[in-house]
A = this chain, B = another copy of it.
Amino acid sequence: MSGRLDVVGLGPGREGLVTPEASAVLAAADALYGYGPYLDRVPPREGQARHPSDNRVELDRARAALVAAGAARVAMVSGGDPGVFAMAAAVCEAVEQGPAAWRAIEIVIHPGITAMLALAARVGAPLGHDFCAISLSDNLKPWPLVERRLAAAAQVGFAMALYNPISRARPWQLGAGLDVLRAHLPGETPVIFGRAVAREDEEIRVTTLAEADPAGADMATCILIGTAETRVIPRPGLPPLVYTPRRAPA
């Protein structure tokens, strides 16, 4: 068995943010695998098979695509960037745990614009200096580890992007995470909620850590947390610019 599996990042949603490379690979594929709503974003092509799957079955989806990759041009579709809380790690995990023959499959990963970069661009440069990306989901890691990471990031002055902030099955984690941050950062630290960034129903709200309300987030929200140095520049008639200076104090 040999073959090739392309893992393709669609970016945050708008077509103008899909790379030409990603578009070309998707157009050429015989079969597409992915979470249903992401597949729906790919322009249809006659004769191309689509295998939508549910949200939380990444490993099963990866295995199905690897099985198919021996015999056809297969692309795995990922939202944002496949390497950031998305499908690339699941594909690698499936290869490692799968039959030896899967190690002969060429895995080609096509990067995309991940949510935190699209959101940061909409408001200025809140991730303009050292920063981290943390998934608030405790499905695959213990919650105390999330809290340790949030505390450490705040203590050393990382700006932060929070992915998977909340869901029906994880209703309290965002509130608890914000409380951890409040113990280490000033209440006026800028916080940005971005929902459905770069899509038609995009909603962006700039607030502060003191005022941040978990009710303002859902599964489609990415949240950026500034540092004690992050600036908000008011602008008459325009939304404020938010940026974290390149210069950091000792």
Which A residues fall within an 8 A CB radius of B?
9, 11, 14-21, 24, 58, 81-85, 88-93, 95-96, 103-104, 106-107, 109-114, 117-118, 120-122, 124-135, 140-142, 144-145, 148-149, 152-153, 155-158, 231, 233-238, 241-250
Contacts and interface: CB of A to CB of B under 8 A. Distances in A.
A135 B131 CA distance: 10
Contacts of A235: 103-104
Contacts of A82: 121, 125
B157 A145 contact: yes
A14 B81 CA distance: 17
Nearest to A24: B16
A132 B111 contact: no
Contacts of A157: 145, 149
Instruction: List the 9 shortest-distance A-B pairs measured between CB atoms, nearest first.
Output: A89-B128, A16-B21, A92-B243, A132-B132, A88-B125, A141-B248, A89-B125, A109-B121, A103-B235
Contacts of A127: 83-84
A237 B132 CA distance: 35
Nearest to A103: B235
Nearest to A12: B111
A51 to B, nearest CB: 21
A109 B124 contact: yes
A88, A155, A158: most-surrounded residue (chain B CB, <10 A): A88
A233 B103 contact: yes
Contact of A83 (B106, B128, B247): B128
B130 A149 contact: yes
